[in-house]
């Protein structure tokens, strides 16, 4: 098999875009009794998935449960109220590679910060509890791209091999030099 040039074109999957987003949201939970005080709040059961919305954005959809332990009846009784919150966030891609070959992408999403309660307090009306939640995502868009690699003939004489090894202090020195297209 012969080729006309010293370069080979390799088609591979690579990161074609990435983005990161920190979001804060305020949720309101209405317990069955008028709360006297908040004793604790935690966010659990985070579930999410991501899909590419456009060349500029990745869309995140998910949900989490907010659990609030509160007292009522002038702090004489306690109860835990749970509520599932659905969310949708858009993560703007801060870096993009326009050299992707197709419109088919894989999305890798990593949660940097799981949903976390920043603040939980009784609203002034007294019947609702406001919960401020923070979460952070890092997304990568994986697509097919081309890489050009210089290829050596593989034929060298003993003298050039010795010079190359001596010049590079015994470290590997290849002829493959990457060049993206």
6: in domain? no
Q: How many CB atoms lie within 10 A of CB 103?
A: 8
Considering the domain boundaries, does residue 166 fall inside one?
A: no
Does pLDDT of 12 surpass 50?
yes
Task: With respect to residue 128, please indicate whether it lies within any of the assigned structural domains.
Answer: yes
| Residue 89, strand partner residues | 60
Tokens representing 123 are 């609203």
Cβ neighbors of 92 (< 8 A, separation 6 or more) are 19, 21, 56, 57
Other CB atoms within 10 Å distance of the CB of residue 21:
17
45, 178 in Cβ contact below 8 A?
A: no
pLDDT (tens digit per residue) in 27-40: 999 999 999 999 99
Range of the domain at 67: 15-147
User: How many domains in the chain?
Assistant: 1
Q: How many CB atoms lie within 10 A of CB 22?
A: 10
Which one is predicted more confidently, 174 or 120? Answer: 120
The predicted structure's pLDDT at residue 127: 87
| pLDDT exceeds cutoff 70 at 169 | no
9 within domain boundaries: no
Ranking 10-24, 36-50, 94-108, 147-161 by mean pLDDT, the lowest is 147-161
Higher pLDDT, 120 or 5: 120
Burial of residue 64 (number of CB atoms within 10 Å: 0-12, 13-18, 19+):
buried
Strand duo 7-29 + 95-96: pairing: antiparallel
Entry pTM: 0.73
Please indicate, yes or no, if residue 107 is contained in any of the structural domains.
Answer: yes
Q: Express each pLDDT in 56-87 by its tens digit.
A: 889 999 999 999 999 999 999 999 999 999 99
Burial class, 16, CB count within 10 angstroms (exposed 0-12 / middle 13-18 / buried 19+)? buried
What are the tens digits of pLDDT across the range 147-165?
888 887 666 655 555 555 5
Residues 59 and 39: their CA atoms lie apart, in Å, by 35
Please give the average per-residue pLDDT across 167-181, as a whole number.
45
Model pLDDT, residue 68:
97
The number of CA neighbours under 13 Å toward the Cβ of 33 is 18
In the structure encoding, which two tokens stand for residue 68, read together? 């609030």
Is 29 contained in some domain? yes
- Residue 153 forms part of a structural domain: no
Say if 178 falls within a structural domain: no
């Amino acid at each position: 098999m012969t080729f006309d040039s010293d370069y080979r074109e390799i088609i591979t999957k690579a990161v074609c875009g990435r983005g990161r987003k920190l979001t804060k949201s305020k949720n309101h939970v209405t317990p069955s009794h008028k709360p006297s005080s908040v004793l604790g709040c935690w966010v659990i059961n985070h579930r999410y998935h991501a899909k590419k919305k456009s060349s500029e954005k990745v869309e995140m959809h998910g949900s989490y449960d907010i659990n609030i332990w509160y007292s009522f009846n002038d702090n004489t009784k306690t109860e835990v109220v749970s509520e599932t919150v659905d969310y949708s966030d858009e993560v703007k891609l801060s870096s993009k590679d326009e050299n992707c070959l197709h419109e088919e992408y894989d999305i890798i999403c990593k949660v940097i910060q799981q949903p976390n309660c920043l603040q939980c307090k009784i609203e002034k009306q007294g019947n609702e509890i406001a919960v401020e939640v923070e979460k952070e995502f890092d997304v990568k868009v994986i697509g097919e791209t081309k890489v050009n690699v210089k290829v050596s003939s593989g034929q060298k004489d003993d003298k050039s091999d010795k010079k190359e090894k001596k010049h590079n202090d015994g470290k590997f020195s290849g002829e493959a030099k990457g060049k993206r297209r």
